[in-house]
Amino acid sequence: AFVVTSATSVAFWDVPKLSARSNLVLPQYIRMKISATAALVAGAAIMSSAAGVTVPTVTLSNGVEMPMMAAGVGGDNQSDAALSVIEALGVGIMHIDTAQDYMNLKGVAVALAATRIPREEIFLTSKVPGCGVPSQGLQPPCFENTYESALADIVKLGTPYVDLLLLHFPPILGCKKGSESCTKIQEQWRALEKLYANNKTRAIGVSNYCQECVECVLENSTITPMVDQMQFHVGMGDDPAGLRSYLKDHNIVHEGYSPLAHGDIFDVPAVEAVANATNKSAAQVGLRWIHELGSVFVTKSDKPDHLVDDIDVFSGWNLTQDQVAQISAATDPACHVEAPGGCCE
């Protein structure tokens, strides 16, 4: 588990090093903003540490401990990604989630290079694009291009390894066994297995993979995916298309992105009712619901105080079984496709 402590928060950032490193990709005004933000975030971290909040971990099938809350940088440009990582680490979120397709790996690297937090205390997730999607992602040969692309991403992140590497999405033509699309997936997975064997990543998994796509991977894999990151939020039910149950049966950790449905869960009557009953925000209730189900979630905010509120999900309060059931019964907002394979029917 990762515990926020004031002793570490006040020494999170080497500001001169941060400014020097930032000069590689960021203009002067952004470097000044980063330095100022680093000081502000230290204060936010102390606020969080006062509550003694512990972010729990889940044990992956290979024994690696994965924090059950991640801070995402999707949609950020390079400078905003650097700020997002600074803010997240500053308030005690030690799991950072990025991807090649976010086009901000260098921004993430800026913040990682400047932190005084030991690398082994940070859990870094990245994703390599799917192969064979027309005008998107990687193109064949899928094994070679996936392997080389992932290696290049790790170099951009300025780290010798990542903690979790995911295939970001499957081909849009489906994953039926024996199909050309399935063959491409299997080639990509073989590349991730090689990266894992070569200690370039501590764990491997998939993203936006519904059951058929996971079955394609399992058909001839040496290693079973350790994580499947999918869209997951209130309104989709507690077991969309039976995927969570399926993953549990195969010892694959379920991780949810867009856990607040971009704010759409705030108006769900069940969420509002539970928020009033628990004296918590709708966002906290939505995230706590996911945690109560045993899933990991990827949150995102550009405001440190909101991130502190998110961490409060782990401060010792919980939902009753009736409240979990009430929220699970909500049917809106529905899943909306953000990537190929992102919504299972």
Catalytic residues: 102
Nearest Cα neighbor of 158 from 204, 105, 81 is 105
**What SS3 state is found at 131?**
strand
Contact, 56 vs 68, CB < 8 A?
A: yes
Residue 54 DSSP class? E
**Cα–Cα distance between 238 and 331 in angstroms, integer?**
10
**Cα–Cα distance between 97 and 271 in angstroms, integer?**
26
Phi and psi at 131, nearest 5°, equal -120, 135
Write the burial class of residue 178 (CB in 10 Å: 0-12 exposed, 13-18 middle, 19+ buried). Answer: exposed
Helix or strand holding residue 2 (H, E):
strand 2-3
Which residues, including other chains, have CB under 8 Å from residue 183's CB and lie 6 or more apart? none
Nearest Cα neighbor of 198 from 228, 167, 161, 224 is 161
Q: Concatenated DSSP letters for 70-83?
A: EEE-TT--HHHHHH
Pairing state of beta strands 164-167 and 54-55?
Answer: unpaired
Length of the chain in terms of residues written: 345
Rounded to 5°, angle at Cα 114 from 112 and 117: 70
